[in-house]
Amino acid sequence: MTSTADRVRVAVLISGTGSNMAALIDEGQKPGASFEVVLVVANRPHAGGLAIAEAKEVKALAIDHQPFGADRAAHEAEIQRLLIQHDIQLVALAGYMRVLTPGFVQGWRGRMINIHPSLLPLYPGLDTHARAIAAGDSEGGCTVHQVTEGVDEGEILGQIAVPILHDDTPDSLAQRVLAAEHRLYPQVLSELCRTLD
């Protein structure tokens, strides 16, 4: 069994609900897990995921981006300070809806991953489900990938495809894809943390 001391120390960055974050916390709290979520950081003080993390006894903090205006790097410097303070080894973005600066991304190269609600390289960016339905695709899905400077462009670590039904709306498809995300993200993070140096 992996002792707590051996587990990769993970921080999850969120902007909202935090359902993927919750799935990661739960996985990391299982006996023998290869990682542990020890910190959650939100860029919005009212992000719902903060209370969920606290209820699961994970340290949860907000660094509001608004006072920083257009200075993304200054906002990220505050986040970086927290990551260092908590000895974070890997960062998992989970519905973190801010584009990161190249400097921050480079500092975490190979140790920052993201979940995206499409079968990348299809539909990077926003409104993925509406775009997949409008294109007449037979399936949507989700992808976990390494974070690089290009938005939603890094190496793909895992994907789950979800059939698109004839009467699907973006919301109904999003719900089924989200359920797949909750399976995919913990599995990929677990595997990655077993192989990290």
Q: Which is nearer to ligand GAR, 16 or 107 (CB)?
A: 16
What is the dihedral angle through the alpha carbons of 7, 8, 14, 16, rounded to the nearest 10 degrees?
-20
Give the residue at shortest CB distance from ligand GAR: 95
Among 24, 6, 2, residue whose Cα is nearest residue 114: 24
- Pick from 8, 33, 43, 95 the residue near ligand GAR by CB under 6 A: 95
What is the per-residue binding string for ligand GAR in 45-84, x denoting contact by CB under 6 A? ----------------------------------------
The single-letter DSSP state of residue 23 is H
Site mask for ligand GAR (CB under 6 A), range 112-151, x = bound: ---xxx----------------------------------
- Contact (Cβ atoms closer than 8 angstroms) between residue 40 and residue 53: yes
Check if 116 is active-site: yes
Closest among 148, 63, 84 to 114, alpha carbons compared = 148
Strand duo 8-14 + 112-116: pairing: unpaired
Instruction: Give CA angle at 119 (167, 99), nearest 5°.
Output: 110
Residue from 7, 8, 12, 20 binding ligand GAR (CB under 6 A): 20
Task: Single out the catalytic residue among 116, 129, 145, 182.
Answer: 116
Closest CA to 193 of 14, 15, 10: 10
**To the nearest whole angstrom, how small is the minimum distance from the Cβ of residue 15 to ligand GAR?**
7
- Bridge partners of residue 163, in order along the sequence: 139
**10 interacts with ligand GAR by CB under 6 A:** no
Residues that bind ligand GAR (CB under 6 A): 14, 16-21, 94-95, 115-117, 178, 181
Show which residues are catalytic: 116
